[in-house]
Chains A and B, each alone.
Chain A
Amino acid sequence: MSQNVLSQISELLAAKGYAVTESGAGSLRIQDTDSHLSIAAVIEGEIVFFSMTCATVAASALTPAILRKLLDANNGVSTSHFQIFESGDATTISLNNFCKLQEMGADDEDDILSCISFLLADVVTARDLLAADLA
């Protein structure tokens, strides 16, 4: 079922002008062809999880002030959520979103496209929010 869903999602996004490649089992790399922004998607059962890497910084660069901005309810990022991933000395700040699929009908297609649109919109807000701190 996952492979079938993966194909359907790929076709949907390709029809909407995104460049889509399979990046692993149950995983897609979705690229906006204008901005070249990339989104990783993982399908697990009926869940599609979307993630966009904002920036990878030294772990020490994540000050309490920055973390407060990431968690602040009024930070302007309202349709996606921040997560940080630790990898050695580096920390990746990502924006994430997910949806639960039903029968891959019109509602599911709208959910998928909305998740991606939200991420593409939120990343601009996120950049404005954090750029000065991470420069």
Chain B
Amino acid sequence: MGFFSDIFNRTGRVARGQANQAVGALEDATFEATVQQTIRDMKTELNNVVRSSASAMSNYNQLDSEYQKWVRQAAEWKARAVQALDAGNEDLAKKALARKGECDKQVTSLQSAIDSARQASETLKSQVGELKRKIDDGERTANTLIARKNAASAQRKVSEALAGVGNADNAFATLATFEKSVAKEEATAKAFGELASAGKDDGLEAEFAALQGATVDSELEELKRERRIGSVHIQKELPPASGH
């Protein structure tokens, strides 16, 4: 939604300065540039957020490192206090506990700062993700807008071209002419076919056809005769039945 309003605000800004038709073409040319500029602006914003996020994460990491150092030292002083107590040196144990107390104070004072830094870092990371998603959406929307604008522009040009064509490119009339020429060619081909067969002696053709039939019949008889002879030979060669 923000992307659309941003686009149309920018387009509006472009359009406001271009009231007459002479600059209409300029507006067309500017449209794509405006849309692309919006995407570039969003990417610049993303880079800024990524930089801020990196800075916040670095800040958090530094604080965390400092925090861990004090936690570690507090634990070390506690261990020393135990060691001193075990050795029966209460004074030394007290001194160690006093140092531990200083470390605990640092830990406590850093706790809220580190929580804030962690929250800031998480928020910025989430913003980076959201902004990347918006940029992807924006790019898709921008491509669609540009394609629609180009399609509308192409259609307008076709419309202008067709206005001057009149009846010159009438497809229905062209189809009718084409079909007539195809029908004429078919009729001509048919006429040639009839002419080609006009000189033939049908009786003679029939006699040759019968002759061809007779040849086939005689070949069939010959084949049958061969098959009968073959069958007799096979029967002669078979062994006598065993009686089982």
Chain A residues within 8 Å of B, Cβ to Cβ: 23-24, 26-27, 34-38, 40, 42-49, 51-56, 83, 85, 87, 90, 92, 94-96, 98, 100, 123-124, 126-127, 130-131, 134
Contacts and interface: CB of A to CB of B under 8 A. Distances in A.
B151 A49 contact: yes
Given A23-B161, A56-B167, A85-B163, A42 B174 contact: no
Nearest to B179: A35
B151 A85 contact: no
7 contacts: A44-B151, A45-B146, A47-B150, A51-B162, A56-B165, A95-B171, A123-B172
Interface in B137-188: 146-147, 150-151, 153-155, 157-159, 161-163, 165-167, 169-175, 177-178
A47 B154 contact: yes
B27 interface: no
A48 B158 CA distance: 11
A49 B163 CA distance: 16
Nearest to A49: B154
B104 interface: no
Nearest to A135: B172
B66 interface: no
B172 A40 contact: no
B162 A55 contact: no
Interface of B: 32, 146-147, 150-151, 153-155, 157-159, 161-163, 165-167, 169-175, 177-178
B170 A46 contact: no
A132 to B, nearest CB: 12
Given A36-B178, A46-B150, A56-B170, A24 B158 contact: no
A35 B154 contact: no
B157 A27 contact: yes
Contact of B165 (A53, A96, A127): A53
A38 B162 contact: no
Given A42-B155, A47-B154, 18 more contacts: A23-B161, A37-B171, A37-B175, A38-B169, A42-B154, A42-B158, A43-B154, A44-B157, A45-B32, A47-B147, A47-B151, A53-B162, A55-B173, A56-B166, A56-B167, A83-B155, A87-B162, A96-B158
A26 B166 contact: no
Nearest to B159: A85
